[in-house]
Amino acid sequence: MVTGKKILLCVSGGIAVYKAVALTSKLVQAGAEVRVIMTKSAMEFVTPLTFQTLSRNEVYFDTFDEKNPQVIAHIDLADWADLVLVAPATANTIGKLANGIADNMLTTTLMATKATVWIAPAMNVHMYEHPAVQENIQTLYQFGYRFIEPSEGFLACGYVGKGRLEEPEKIVELLVNHFEKIESGSPFHNVKMIVTAGPTREKIDPVRFFSNHSTGKMGYAIAEEAAKLGANVTLITGPTAIAPPETVTTVRIETAQEMFDEVLKRYNDAEVVIKSAAVADYRPAKQYTQKMKKQSTQLVIEMERTNDILKELGRQKTHQLLVGFAAETNNLEEYAKKKIETKNLDLIVANNILSKGAGFGTDTNIVTMIDRELNKTELPLMSKIQVAKKLLDKVHLLLRERG
């Protein structure tokens, strides 16, 4: 599906440039037309001749080197591309793009393009985790850029952690999937979607916390299936033991307050929000900085309410399609319908967690979907992936009804 596609590969400086060489070769072998822009730092690692030989196209690195008087090179490249891929993307390049700095051929071209832009970061694990880098990544995500998350492993600097450029074979696979979705008319193509998943943890002291039995399986299934259907998914997840899909942007949180902050931060840009996380309703009113020692008497811990995320989203809702979940043990339909009204939902997914095969931690679920008009769809026992597909079918239908 990349045959004939025009891929503009933007290479910034880092040891991972050697992987960009292999990526160029694999894209050309897959039938793509590849043109390469390099920063001066990238040229310290690999010469332009290498990329020219593999791509069979001229390599660009100087904004003022205008070989063809009929066009302006960086504008011509920006208009030419079907997709722009920044790989590897350094912290420096990410920072420049997030702050509108266009001081070289790469950043100037990216500022001018209207094509889809994918960014594949590669850097030291501590650089990647730095708050400034993470903030810049979130800024670019809100601009509509997509990210190929770095993988974990042994880094050139000697550290072991997250920061390795994703393998070229995997990047090519992601590009193939992307163009397949476009060719097949993906129902959620470029729809910005937030999915919340997993539990939250509310700290008592450095050792103990309150939580629940949620594993995140339902939310992760929704996020993965939505990405397959072309959605631009941000998965905001509490602590889980499962790996998030590689095709989504993952934001990890611990507490209900962190979940509240991260969702609200992105809410204005979202078109669909599916809140499947099991967020704590209460947290300890006081958190201890030292481990509490056991006492001879009974212990009483005062609890206070956390922010009701779904209710706040319903209150602030403008254009978003808002989907909630109701995990109940009794009066399922009654409580679900009440949530639709009190939290201004467009759709709710309700399940009785006492039903066999429908509780936390299972690979299956039994749910009832109810929309604002109280139309009800009951689904039998099925895998959570199948539930996710049925739910997204309903969400797509609701979006189409809105026009």
**Sequence-distant (≥ 6) Cβ neighbours of residue 79 within 8 angstroms:** 112, 113, 114
CB atoms within 10 A of CB 179: 17
For the chain, the distance separating the N- and C-terminal CA atoms, rounded to the nearest angstrom, is: 29
Residues 242, 157: Cα–Cα separation, whole Å: 28
Known binding-site residues for CTP equal 281, 291, 325, 339, 343
CA 164-167-171 angle, to 5 degrees, is: 115
From 43, 111, 157, 382, active-site residue: 157
Residues 276, 226: Cα–Cα separation, whole Å: 14
> DSSP labels for 276-313?
--B--SEEESS--SSPPPP-SSPP---EEEPP-HHHHH
Q: Is 10 an annotated catalytic residue?
A: no
Residues 385 and 241 sit within 8 Å (Cβ to Cβ): no
Residues 206, 288: Cα–Cα separation, whole Å: 7
Residues 163, 117: Cα–Cα separation, whole Å: 20
Residues 88 and 12 sit within 8 Å (Cβ to Cβ): yes
Q: Across the strands, what pairs with 72?
A: none
> DSSP labels for 95-127?
HHHHTT---SHHHHHHHH--SEEEEEE---HHH
Residues 121, 165: Cα–Cα separation, whole Å: 6
Known binding-site residues equal 281, 291, 325, 339, 343
Active site residue ranges? 157
